[in-house]
Structure 1
Amino acid sequence: MTAQKTTLRIIPILIFAIFYGCSPTVKVTADYDHSADFTSYRTFAVYDLKAQQGQVNQLNADRVTNAIRNEMLAKGFTESENPDLKVNAVSILKNKTSVSSTTDFYGYGGMYRPYGYWGGGAMMGGANTTFNTYDYVDGSLIIDIVSTKNQKLVWEGIGNAEIDNKPDNPDEFITGSVKKIMEGFPPGQIKK
């Protein structure tokens, strides 16, 4: 399997990478409404991430909410009860198993080459195939930003991570993950 295919398989995760992984790598994708005028938005309100079906505890939900709030403030937006933008986050956690196999050939014999057969007859010996399994949590954090003027989604960032255990410092991991997801908001912003 190529590194690219492996990365694509890992993509289906994040917060919850956030909640279970020891500094897992977060893969981020984003999309936005290209017709939206992001310079017209000045205020926001965060709609709290709720602990859903026992997947995310309230402590981590509060960490995500606070991290989003801090990112919006750092980008120059003002929190308001009558906002231009509503920000919401959704987490998805799935238990997954990865299976890989390795085959070791032993013995001697011939092998085919592009210019003909080489070697001494039929393969003598055999092969041994070993299967390995790896359990992990596939976590995703989706941050949606909606215009209150027309109730349309104007920006979405998704972070995915493969999580194999709880992070040593959940505050640091969640803050870093949310920062990475929101790095491209608003679109066209000059990165420092």
Structure 2
Amino acid sequence: MNIKNTTLRIIPLLVAAFYYSCSPSVKVTADYDHATNFSEYKTFAFYDLKAQEGKINQLNADRITKAIRAEMLSKGFVETPSNPDLKVNAVTILKNKTEVTANSNFYGYGGMYRPYGYWGGGAMMGGGTTTFNSYDYVDGSLIIDIVSTKTQKLVWQGIGNAQIDSKPDNPEEFITSSIKKILAGFPPGLAKK
């Protein structure tokens, strides 16, 4: 095998790995009413999804609506403004957080506590320092609620959570892929494989 051809094949893989490693990783959880017969639902509509004050801008609110609509349509649901079987709502929760880490380069010999007393030498013979680092990020969650209009009860909920270090380069792509991942298990038992 030619080394040049092998290198040319590896470079795109490395670029893809770098690209995806830089994207926030979305963790998904879902819950639903196990007594619900999801095969009865054929139509849907949205609650009035608006930009949330100080949380999300209107561009992203529109992207979320567009991505949910595309997923619901791809699953065979029909959007209708009058008498839908299901109503869909989406809520974002963004929290600014700081993580603090400590790195120690301690060396030496000292005592170690045991339930029956100290063990080892008494005085520290070496030294060390501890460095503290802080890291700011946004803990972001997108919650998708699906409500039965017949019972006015929540029948399915999906939550996507990500630690966001910086604004995604392509917000539309990030939102679309996140919503696809969140809705992958909807409807339960009938989801496409």
Instruction: State the TM bucket, normalised to the shorter chain.
Output: 0.7 to 0.9
1:132 aligns with 2:127: no
Equivalent residue of 1:28, what SS? strand
Equivalence for 1:73:
73
Equivalence for 1:25:
25
Equivalent residue of 2:52, what SS? coil
Where do 5+ consecutive residues of structure 2 fail to align?
1-21
The one-letter code sitting in structure 1 at the alignment partner of 2:140 is G
Whose radius of gyration is greater, 1 or 2? 2
Where do 5+ consecutive residues of structure 1 fail to align?
1-21
Equivalence for 1:15:
none
Equivalent residue of 2:142, what SS? strand
Deviation at 1:111, TM superposition (A): 6.8
The one-letter code sitting in structure 2 at the alignment partner of 1:87 is V
Deviation at 1:54, TM superposition (A): 2.1
Number of matched residues?
A: 168
Equivalence for 1:87:
88
Equivalence for 2:176:
175
The one-letter code sitting in structure 2 at the alignment partner of 1:134 is Y
Task: State the alpha-carbon separation in 2 of the partners of residues 56 and 44 from structure 1.
Answer: 24
Any conservation in 2 of the 1:140–1:158 contact (CA below 8 Å)?
A: yes
Q: TM-score, normalised by structure 2?
A: 0.80
Seq. identity, %: 72
Task: List structure 1 runs of 4+ shifted beyond 6 angstroms.
Answer: none
Q: How does 1:36-51 map to 2 (within 5 A)?
A: 36-51=36-51
Deviation at 1:126, TM superposition (A): 1.7
Equivalent residue of 2:129, what SS? strand
Instruction: Say which structure, 1 or 2, has more relative contact order (CA 8 Å, 6+ apart).
Output: 1
Higher strand share: 1
Task: State the alpha-carbon separation in 2 of the partners of residues 110 and 83 from structure 1.
Answer: 71
Residue by residue, what CA displacement relative to the aligned partner does 1:61-88 show, whole Å, maximum 9, x if unpaired?
Answer: 0000000000000000001122000001
Deviation at 1:175, TM superposition (A): 0.3
